[in-house]
Amino acid sequence: MKPVSMIVGTGHSAPEKVLTNFDLEKIVDTTNEWIIERTGIRERRIKSPEENTSDFCTEAARQALEEAGMAAADIDLIIIGTVSGDMRFPSTAIFVQAKLGAHNAAVFDIAAACSGFVYGLTLADAMIATGQYRNILVIGAESMTHMTDWEDRNSCVLFGDGAGAAVVIPSDGERGILSTYLGSDGRLAHLLYSAGGGTVAPATHETVDNRDHYLKMAGPEVFLHAIKAMSKSAQKALDRSGLTAEDIDMLIPHQANIRIIEGTAKRFGIPLERVMINIDRYGNTSSASIPIALNEARKSGRLKSGMNCLMVVFGGGFTWASAIVKF
Ligand code: UT7
């Protein structure tokens, strides 16, 4: 099958401020050794009160546009995967449009938690297939530390902030998105969520006191589902593309836990030198995780032209997604 769309530019941005495991040792009852051994994380970037999700998006988008040789005015659609945007409404994409000056674009956010970028990529591919959109900016961005409970050692050591972006245009017939696969299971929403501020737990003194505005996660349960769903999802994308795991030159897995990353790679017989890993420096940045890793893989020269890349992700909802892209 000929690809319909392709990625011609990527970028990423993260806050300057670094929070190390040693810093966390001073905040909660944890150790650098525990965090490294159980998650693979050494440090993460955390935003300052002045920084907003749209700032990271805008910087990542500028880099992606520059590489693509495009002006912001050339963009006709902006899709942002985020669950920690600037405001409850309007969308974060609205602020990014204004900051970039992408005034010819239609813009919206999608809420698919960690899977947001790959959901967005899938949507961009489909929108280009309609023939009605040509130059699409897909961004995955989060300010996860905005909803981090710094008193909960089970979750506060995991997350970080940042954004990654990709410019998607019609394929040249050779390179591009070979297949995608999306899945969800709403029966498991209670394992990973943040209720505060929604209709379930509106912002009141009581919901603030209850810590309802922070992220809640049943870590071990999520872990088991993540391993299973990522394997299933990656296999579906392989089947749809007609490729096998041997054809994959680079695996970019969601950076949630080094043990999930290694388990997924092992399941497909992909050696770790063909796996993009940056969880040690960023932690789990939710929907920004895949596009940050993608940009680092490309800009470092590891992911080269002609290579097949498999992206696979899992997140709250639950949601899961995968995409195979020939660069
Ligand atoms: O991005 C969306 C998808 N998210 C994920 O995929 C995350 C999936 N889950 C995970 O990555 C892991 O479950 C965690 C990293 C969250 C936790 O690792 P775990 O190996 O599943 O640990 P656990 O929750 O089973 O806890 C084991 C022990 C417990 O102590 P006891 O009960 O055995 O005495 C915890 O209280 O480790 C303790 N613990 C900690 N100890 C030191 C939990 N968090 C910490 C901590 N420091 N930060």
Asked if 139 and 233 sit in the same domain, the reply is no
Number of domains in the chain: 2
Residues labelled as active-site residues: 114, 254, 284
Q: What is the DSSP letter of 30?
A: -
Q: Are residues 120 and 255 in the same domain?
A: no
Whether residue 196 sits in one domain with residue 54: no
Nearest atom in ligand 1 to 316's CA: 2
> Are 48 and 79 members of one domain?
yes
Q: Which of 150, 175, 200 is the last residue of a domain?
A: 175
Kindly report the backbone phi and psi dihedral angles of residue 301, in degrees, each rounded to the nearest multiple of 5, phi listed first. Answer: 85, 0
HSE, side-chain direction, 13 A CA sphere, residue 313: 37
Same domain, 297 and 193: yes
Pairing of strands 192-193, 308-315: unpaired
Q: Are residues 321 and 273 in the same domain?
A: yes
Q: Are residues 68 and 206 in the same domain?
A: no
Among 104, 3, 9, 15, which residue's Cα sits nearest to residue 299? 9
Question: Are residues 118 and 183 located together in one domain of the fold?
Answer: no
Whether residue 10 is found in the same domain as residue 97: yes
287 CA to middle of ligand 1, Å?
21
Query: Among the three residues 146, 175, 204, which one is the final residue of a domain in this structure?
Result: 175
Task: Check whether residue 199 and residue 315 sit in a common domain.
Answer: yes
Cβ–ligand 1 contact at 153 (below 6 Å): yes
One pLDDT digit (tens) per residue for the chain, 327 residues: 789 999 999 999 999 999 999 999 999 999 999 999 999 999 999 999 999 999 999 999 999 999 999 999 999 999 999 999 999 999 999 999 999 999 999 999 999 999 999 999 999 999 999 999 999 999 999 999 999 999 999 999 999 999 999 999 999 999 999 999 999 999 999 999 999 999 999 999 999 999 999 999 999 999 999 999 999 999 999 999 999 999 999 999 999 999 999 999 999 999 999 999 999 999 999 999 999 999 999 999 999 999 999 999 999 999 999 999 999
pTM value? Answer: 0.98
CA of 257, closest atom in ligand 1: 11
CB-neighbour burial class of residue 306 (10 A; exposed 0-12, middle 13-18, buried 19+): exposed
User: What is the domain range of residue 59?
Assistant: 5-175
The CA R_g of the chain, rounded to the nearest whole Å, is 19
